[in-house]
Amino acid sequence: MTKQHADVRPGRLSGKKVLITGGASGLGLACAERFAEEGADLYLADLNEPAAAAAAQQLASRFNCQVGFSAVDVTQEDSINAAVEAALRTLGRLDSCIASAGIASAGISESAVDKSVLTTPLASWQKVLDVNLTGVMLTCKAVANHVVRRGGGGTLINLASSAARVSLPGNAEYCVSKAGVVMLTQVLAMELLPHGIRVNALGPGFIETPMTAAMREDPEGRARMEGMTPMGRLGKPVEIANAALYLASEESSYTTGHTLYPNGGIFVG
């Protein structure tokens, strides 16, 4: 589903074409809404195609922007390549990408006694790394190859997590996958610098998204998340989207290889 618009809309991303994986919900959808508000046209790729279709229709109507969508499994190179090709057919080119598709492991309210590296099934470990780390790599690879071919530069934004820096017992696979995203971002930034492609990442703290819903509904889980956050509250999805907007816009033109941590002060330095 797409919607054409006659004029370029004003905004900090006016005329930019952006692919968002995991764009049908959570932080991906929050970024899509914020980017559309700032003049971008979008392509939403998500494992849940009906949700992506609904989000695309809502965004196109609300912001008068062009929005395409398709299903994608970011763990499969053929699938992400097909999504990028579909985005190019819909939007004509890509200027930016947000690799936000991801999954969580066990909640932080679960103690290391209940779940640890010693009891983690290999299939569970591999699945989280496949989605959260390999999926980001494949997404960046496909989009960057297009941008290199067309020239002119662009931006890649990867979703890491504050768990890349703060160990969460019982969640080794999640922490390790997100730490990998941080290093992947740094390496890609140096490799793609000659092509004018800036690569940065976001490391959110505890945000009010579907990923934290179960913990938020449990008083003990919410208290633990809030207790780990010096600001004493959970973040709003738009607060992460605003950070992504900065990294995608020319306001961050001198920034690459950096992970920005909007996390309410979970760690500093």
Q: What's the pLDDT tens digit per position in 31-87?
A: 999 999 999 999 999 999 999 999 999 999 999 999 999 999 999 999 999 999 999
Burial class (CB in 10 A: 0-12, 13-18, 19+), 227: exposed
The answer as to whether 98 is a domain residue is: yes
Cα 241-131-43 angle, rounded to 5 deg: 45
Residue 42 sits in which domain range? Answer: 17-107+114-260
Are 171 and 229 contacting, i.e. CB atoms less than 8 angstroms apart?
no
| Choice between 267 and 254, residue whose per-residue pLDDT is larger | 254
Contact 17, 32 (CB under 8 A): no
Residue 119 lies in a domain: yes
Domain count of the chain? Answer: 1
C-alpha 243/C-alpha 56 separation (Å) is: 22
Q: pLDDT for 125-159, tens place per residue?
A: 999 999 999 999 999 999 999 999 999 999 999 99
Range of lowest pLDDT (5-19, 105-119, 213-227): 105-119
pLDDT at 256: 98
Interatomic CA distance for residues 126 and 46, integer angstroms: 20
Q: Which of 140-144, 169-173, 197-201 has the lowest mean pLDDT?
A: 169-173
pTM: 0.94
Please report, for residues 12, 57, 178, 180, 231, the alpha-carbon distance to residue 255 in angstroms, rounded to integers and kept in the order given. 17, 33, 20, 20, 26
Is the predicted pLDDT of residue 112 greater than 60, yes or no? no
Could you tell me which residues are beta bridge partners of residue 66?
none
In this prediction, residue 8 carries a pLDDT of: 67
Catalytic site residues? 174
pLDDT of 113 higher than 60:
no
Query: Is residue 89 a part of any domain in this protein?
Result: yes
Helix axes 237-248, 26-37, angle to 10 degrees: 60
pLDDT > 70 in the chain, percent: 94
Between CA 136 and CA 143, with CA 142 as vertex, the angle to 5 degrees is 90
Does any domain span residue 266? no
Place of tokens 């057919």: 89
Beta bridge partners of 58: none
pLDDT grade for 9, boundaries at 50, 70 and 90: confident
Residue 147, domain CATH:
3.40.50.720
- Residue % of the chain over a pLDDT of 90: 91
**pLDDT exceeds 70 at position 103:** yes
Output the CA–CA distances (angstroms, integers) from residue 230 to 53, 94, 236, 262, in the order listed. Answer: 38, 38, 15, 12
Residue 269 pLDDT class (50, 70, 90 cuts): low
**11 is a domain residue:** no
The answer to the question of residue 8 being in a domain is: no
The alpha carbon of residue 133 and the mean position of all alpha carbons in its chain are separated, in whole angstroms, by 11
Q: Examine the pLDDT at 11 and tell me if it is beyond 90.
A: yes
